[in-house]
């Protein structure tokens, strides 16, 4: 436990930021899983809707610094390939 006031503040802020990052990463993973579930079910309409939501979530993650832009491009590319194979 920190004794200095500024260290206490920093500790509190780091806990808040960690919780925020964890929530955003969880939302990203959930969007990806919904897309995968729609692909597994073979439902093209649901897959297209979840694809749009997942791509948007991935782009937001890049903007917030949760993902590297190349990692995001790889994820989006693989999702696009899966969606096109479904057609």
Confidence of residue 1 (pLDDT cuts 50, 70, 90): confident
* Secondary structure of the chain as H, E, C letters: CCCCHHHHHHHHHHHHHHHHHHHHHHHHHHHHHHHHHHHHHCCHHHHHHHHHHHHHHHHHHHHHCCCCHHHHHHHHHHHHHHHHHHC
For the segment 35-75, what is each residue's pLDDT rounded down to a tens digit? 999 999 999 999 999 999 999 999 999 999 999 999 999 99
Residues whose CB falls within 8 Å of the CB of residue 79, separated by 6 or more in sequence, listed in order: 32, 35, 51, 54, 55
Contact 53, 34 (CB under 8 A): yes
């Amino acid at each position: 436990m920190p004794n200095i006031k500024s260290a206490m503040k920093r500790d509190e802020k780091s806990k808040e930021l960690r919780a925020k990052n964890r929530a955003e990463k969880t939302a990203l993973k959930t969007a990806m899983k919904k897309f995968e579930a729609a692909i597994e079910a073979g439902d093209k309409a649901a897959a297209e809707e979840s694809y749009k939501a997942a791509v948007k979530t991935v782009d937001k993650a890049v903007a917030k610094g949760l993902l590297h832009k190349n990692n995001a491009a790889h994820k989006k590319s693989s999702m696009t390939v899966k969606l096109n194979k479904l057609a």
